[in-house]
């Protein structure tokens, strides 16, 4: 253990994998940008579901509850499957699951474009959700492997691709689905095909890295003190609660705020989508800034800032006029989603050695809570109206006060040092 340089020279094959896993020497930007590009493709395809919802509501005469169920079908599939995929690939890394998952997404888009009824729409959306469930934990793992010492930045590069893809939903609504209707979804089979090509390149790199990354999973699974296990469980529960609050609020804005604007200000659908674009585009910028800021100021601090910093703007939004709402949507998007990548990195450091499982749990939970949120909020909107729903969701960011109970960054570093 304490022998200096000699063991390095004699047992390079044994030592180097551990070094590479725990602290890779360099950040591998080509892989980070490639996985971010695929994340953009994946989430732009997912954003088709949001963008096409008003079209389907009109053409199939759907209720708000049925519109919410479309979001529920997408997100609950992704939510339930992501931790399962993460757990499986922690034990048996599978680089080529990435292009296989995107194949499912491609079939889902084909089904959505041609769906003759609501049941086929739901089935198609489930296929897209499954493809997303495969991509997210494995994409997070690739970002972690390519991060080097800059995990916050790496996760931000990865996540900003997804947020940028999500921000395309309002543009897609105006540019594709208003002129072409439901059949416009057919174009996104080409986006899925492009994603598969990039994923084959990433899978080849990933396969070559497996020899370096496999040893660490076993290394970090040693005996953990009972008190620390308890703190980790509490930390995960708190993190889950914060993701729940963020995801429900996000669902309220992305799925139902356009309808609220139509009802309150009597603006057309094209203009209503501009508010959502501002919210999502500012969110992508916030995600990009959040990771590097967390590397500098601490992950827990950024999580705290993103939740409580959002609260005053969120509380104002249901009562703001049409022009002030533009500004508020942008501010809320930027601040709220500044912690989007940070919560994943924080969870990875809270439970080291379980990168896929933890990434799948946190991102899957974001999908699942969003799914539940869209379904529940849709039913509440049918029952009591959209305005009370917007007011109800505006208090959710106040749950950010719970962040002070999370283990500090210093504590996580101490635990990592104890694990060696």
**pLDDT tens digits for range 332-386:** 999 999 998 898 889 888 887 777 777 777 777 666 666 677 778 888 888 888 8
- DSSP secondary structure letters along 257-277: HHHHHHHHH---HHHHHHHHH
Determine the CATH number of domain 27-215+224-418.
Answer: 1.20.1250.20
The rounded distance, in Å, linking the Cα atoms of 287 and 340 is 6
- DSSP secondary structure letters along 314-345: HHHGGG--HHHHHHHHHHHHHHHGGGHHHHHH
Residue 367 confidence (pLDDT): 63
Alpha helices in 220-256 (DSSP H): 226-251
pLDDT at 418 over 80: no
- 181: number of Cβ within 10 Å: 15
| Average confidence (pLDDT) over 194-203 | 95
Confidence of residue 416 (pLDDT cuts 50, 70, 90): confident
pLDDT at 300 over 90: yes
Residue 201 confidence (pLDDT): 94
Q: Any idea where the domains of the chain sit in the sequence?
A: 27-215+224-418
State what percent of residues in the chain have pLDDT above 90. Answer: 32
**Selection from 131, 394, 79, 63 nearest residue 250 by Cα:** 394
- Considering only residues 214 and 243, tell me which one the structure prediction assigns the higher pLDDT: 243
- DSSP secondary structure letters along 176-193: IIHHHGGGGGGGHHHHHH
Let me know: does 270 contact 170? Beta carbons within 8 Å. Answer: no
Confidence of residue 99 (pLDDT cuts 50, 70, 90): very high
| Average confidence (pLDDT) over 397-411 | 90
């Amino acid at each position: 253990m304490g022998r200096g340089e000699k063991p390095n020279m004699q047992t390079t094959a044994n030592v180097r994998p551990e070094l590479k896993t725990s602290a890779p020497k360099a950040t591998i930007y080509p892989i980070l940008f490639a996985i971010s590009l695929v994340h953009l493709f994946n989430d732009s395809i997912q954003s088709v579901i949001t963008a096409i919802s008003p079209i389907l509501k009109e053409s199939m005469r759907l209720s708000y509850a049925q519109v919410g169920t479309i979001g529920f079908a997408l997100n609950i599939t992704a939510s339930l499957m992501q931790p399962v995929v993460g757990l499986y690939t922690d034990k048996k890394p599978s680089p080529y699951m990435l292009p296989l998952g995107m194949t499912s997404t491609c079939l889902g888009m084909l089904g959505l474009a041609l769906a003759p009824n609501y049941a086929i729409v739901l089935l198609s959306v489930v296929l897209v959700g499954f493809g997303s469930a495969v991509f997210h934990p494995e994409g997070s793992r690739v970002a972690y492997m390519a991060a080097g010492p800059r995990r916050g930045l790496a996760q931000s590069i990865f996540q900003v691709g997804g947020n940028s893809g999500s921000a395309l939903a309002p543009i897609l609504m105006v540019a594709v689905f208003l002129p072409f209707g439901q059949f416009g979804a057919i174009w996104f089979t080409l986006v899925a095909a492009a994603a598969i090509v990039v994923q084959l390149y990433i899978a080849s790199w990933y396969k070559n890295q497996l020899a370096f990354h496999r040893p660490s999973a076993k290394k970090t699974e040693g005996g953990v003190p009972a008190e620390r296990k308890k703190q980790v469980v509490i930390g995960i529960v708190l993190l889950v609660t914060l993701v729940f609050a963020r995801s429900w609020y996000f669902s309220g804005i992305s799925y139902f705020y356009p309808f609220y604007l139509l009802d309150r200000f009597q603006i057309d659908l094209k203009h209503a989508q501009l508010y959502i674009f501002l919210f999502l585009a500012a969110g992508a910028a916030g995600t990009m800034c959040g990771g590097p800021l967390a590397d500098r100021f601490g992950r827990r601090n950024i999580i705290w800032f993103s939740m409580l910093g959002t609260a005053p703007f969120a509380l104002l939004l249901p009562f703001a006029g049409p022009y002030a709402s533009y500004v508020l949507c942008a501010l809320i998007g930027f601040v709220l989603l500044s912690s989007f990548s940070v919560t994943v990195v924080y969870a990875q450091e809270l439970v080291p050695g379980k990168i896929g499982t933890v990434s799948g749990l946190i991102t899957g939970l974001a999908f699942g809570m969003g799914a539940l949120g869209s379904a529940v909020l849709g039913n509440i909107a049918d029952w009591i109206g959209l305005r009370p729903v917007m007011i109800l969701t505006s208090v959710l960011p106040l749950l950010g006060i719970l962040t002070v109970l999370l283990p500090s960054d210093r504590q996580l570093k101490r635990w990592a040092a104890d694990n060696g």
